[in-house]
Structure 1
Amino acid sequence: MYGIVANTILLNIEGFIVLPKFVVSQSSADLRRQARVAVYAIGGNALSDPTSRKSSKEVLEKVMDDIINLLEAGYRLLITHGNGPQVGDLLMLEETCLIERTRVGLDEWVAATQGMIGHTLSLNLERHLSKKHRPERTAVVLTRVEVDEGDIAFAAPTKPVGPILDEDTIARMDWDVATTAHGARRVVPSPKPLRVLDLEVINSLLELNAVVICAGGGGIPVVMDGTPRGVAAVIDKDRVSALLACDLKADLLVFSTGVDAVRRDFGLESEEVIHEMDVDLAQSLLNEGQLPAGSMGPKVEAMIEARINSETVNIVLCQPGDVLGAVRGDCGTRLL
């Protein structure tokens, strides 16, 4: 019996799998031998720098190298990605171009970025897979994630989106704005993810040996009123990545970000690189304000959540290109 994988696998609007071009990949026995699953979370800033509005092509190439290296190490791979810069740019475009038309909901813009970024990642990854003569193909899944409409996040927006804002833009737009490490950015609600509605579809695609790109931008935020209903929010993709890793019983969870490791006293003379930490140390760093919201804080919170819900998953944080070194313990930060 053979596993069938599409050249590019997409879901249509009804949720059915569309397989436009088939190739025979590996036997079921091969898939069982390659049973380890890795979740690789790409930061949105790896795809677009909010300080420059330019795509970070060099960083993206390192991300692709990480993905290929994990595949060659025997992992089946699920990729998540952020969308903060991209969804913010779309919101700004809507505000500046809107005259007399119906506004698009934030959940719909999240869905749009899932398609756009998923397409970009798929094209790049297909090119690398072909160069390495790998049998896998990509699957881009529009992913809905349930949240609680009563979540306190809706009253206290914290998620930075879009570019750095100048004073004129801040004064002109009726937005919630917060100061980040790079400057002022718009912030939107970021509720806690409760459940990935499309988990069974994602798992089925992994079993087909597809490289699954899903939960982009943290997933499309929905509440359940009998059926899903979109709400205005951007879920933190690191929290969703942790949720997926636990639900899928993944062996490896990678947070790929713009810094090489977690650090204490960042930017001070007493700065210390932390290569290993347990949950107690991670929580104390958060409590001390060492890991601010909008940067490293949510990533370490997601690492803690993953460890609390799974004793076996290997959890590492590293910069793009360092994944194998982080797995070996040579670089990055590992949560014990």
Structure 2
Amino acid sequence: MAKIIIALGGNALQSGKEAPTAQEQLKVVKRTCEYIAELSARGYDIALVHGNGPQVGRIILAGETARKVVPPMPFDVCGAMSQGYIGYHLQQSLGYALKKRNLNYPVVTLTTQVVVERNDPAFTKPTKPIGPFYTAQEANFLSQNEGYVMREDSGRGWRRVVASPKPRKIVEIDAVRALWDNMVVVACGGGGVPVLENPDGTLEGVDAVIDKDYAAELLAEQVQADILLILTAVERVAIRFGTPAQEDLPSLTWAQAHRYVEEGQFGVGSMLPKVQAAMAFVKANPDKRAIITSLDKAVAALDGKSGTVITYA
């Protein structure tokens, strides 16, 4: 049975067309879980990693808005909170979708800490978008009045960005391995809660968001997954994206992907981390593959009929 780590993009958890409420998010998650359950029904052994950019942004915004009533929670605590409520939605929805297919095994969410390095250069150059999209005028106001670092995101609007250090170690990896054979595990949610490891072995939360694609890649390596499946809003990776000369790519070798990265073909806050995570996985596992595609094309992509397949050679 092939092992797959599935990295779920924001569109798999929340619709940009509906109100950003928990109820609307649950509707989207239910639809998402139908696709995931279909993969399980086809015999794939899966674990899930999800993003949390919009959700953790709203948790932080809610705390800041209510600061006169209750103290805002630290950034790392907000990340852990997002793991809990997104995981709850996934457990409930995927559990039901699996039972409809007579697949009666549990889904469990593991609050996951991921160690990052104190001297990671990301702390001096925030790049990870969180929270909702803003107009240029709104972004300027937040920058001037709240001190947020704001950045335009691939033509979709402006978002707040925070530090996004690289994941170095999954603290609960032994627990993931122990659970893997008996249930679907939701782990490294939002990229994992970023923590620093002190000399005495204690862990300390830090204000940052780890990119979920990099965390999914690390998890895929450490559980020896066969496939890293990164699901996003588009069917295939493209070069010259959004221009009349856009070219969708059904396959990429590591060398080709590296060249396109050097050319700046992929958006920093969108496709770039997905391609780089796929590259890292196939470089570490030259006999395996990574796939980037949309949620609705996941089954077809695993059958070789859609998506962008990244291989080492």
Per the TM superposition, whether the score is higher than 0.5 is yes
Question: Partner residue of 1:229?
Answer: 204
Question: Partner residue of 1:115?
Answer: 84
The answer to whether structure 1 residue 204 and structure 2 residue 178 are counterparts is yes
Contact 2:13 2:32 in 1 (8 A): no
Structure with the largest fraction of helix: 2
1:110 maps to amino acid = G
1 CA distance for matches of 2:7 and 2:34? 14
Alignment identity in percent?
33
Q: 1:274 aligns with which of 232, 249, 258?
A: 249
Question: Partner residue of 2:14?
Answer: 48
The CA deviation at 1:312 is 2.8
Contact 1:41 1:80 in 2 (8 A): yes
Partner SS for 1:254: strand
1 CA distance for matches of 2:72 and 2:207? 12
Taking a change above 3 Å as real, the CA distance of residues 312 and 73 of structure 1, as seen in their structure-2 partners, is farther
The CA deviation at 1:45 is 3.5
Partner SS for 1:321: helix
Q: 2:169 aligns with which of 195, 199, 205?
A: 195
Question: Partner residue of 1:12?
Answer: none
The CA deviation at 1:90 is 1.2
Q: 2:265 aligns with which of 278, 281, 290?
A: 290
Taking a change above 3 Å as real, the CA distance of residues 290 and 120 of structure 1, as seen in their structure-2 partners, is same
Contact 1:45 1:82 in 2 (8 A): no
The CA deviation at 1:92 is 1.3
Deviates more, 1:168-177 or 1:213-222: 168-177
Question: Partner residue of 2:229?
Answer: 254
2 CA distance for matches of 1:249 and 1:256? 19
Partner SS for 1:244: helix
The answer to whether structure 1 residue 137 and structure 2 residue 106 are counterparts is yes
The CA deviation at 1:309 is 1.2
The CA deviation at 1:53 is 4.3
Partner SS for 2:296: coil
Contact 1:49 1:85 in 2 (8 A): no
1 CA distance for matches of 2:259 and 2:25? 33
The CA deviation at 1:46 is 2.3
Q: 1:218 aligns with which of 191, 198, 204?
A: 191
Q: 1:177 aligns with which of 147, 150, 154?
A: 150
1:205 maps to amino acid = L
2:164 maps to amino acid = S
2:85 maps to amino acid = M
Taking a change above 3 Å as real, the CA distance of residues 158 and 140 of structure 1, as seen in their structure-2 partners, is same
Deviates more, 1:72-81 or 1:151-160: 72-81
2 CA distance for matches of 1:211 and 1:294? 29
Question: Partner residue of 1:319?
Answer: 294
Gaps of 5+ in 1: 1-33
The CA deviation at 1:200 is 0.6
Figure out how many residues of one structure are paired with residues of the other and give that number: 301
Deviates more, 1:163-172 or 1:186-195: 163-172
Greater than 4 Å deviation, 4+ residue runs: 49-53, 56-59
Contact 2:66 2:72 in 1 (8 A): no
2 CA distance for matches of 1:47 and 1:176? 25
Question: Partner residue of 1:20?
Answer: none
1:63 maps to amino acid = T
The CA deviation at 1:319 is 0.4
Contact 1:62 1:321 in 2 (8 A): no
The answer to whether structure 1 residue 79 and structure 2 residue 48 are counterparts is yes
2 CA distance for matches of 1:121 and 1:61? 8
Partner SS for 1:277: strand
The CA deviation at 1:132 is 1.2
1 CA distance for matches of 2:287 and 2:37? 23
TM-score, with structure 1 as normaliser: 0.85
Taking a change above 3 Å as real, the CA distance of residues 294 and 52 of structure 1, as seen in their structure-2 partners, is farther
Taking a change above 3 Å as real, the CA distance of residues 107 and 297 of structure 1, as seen in their structure-2 partners, is same
The CA deviation at 1:50 is 5.6
1:38 maps to amino acid = I
Gaps of 5+ in 2: none
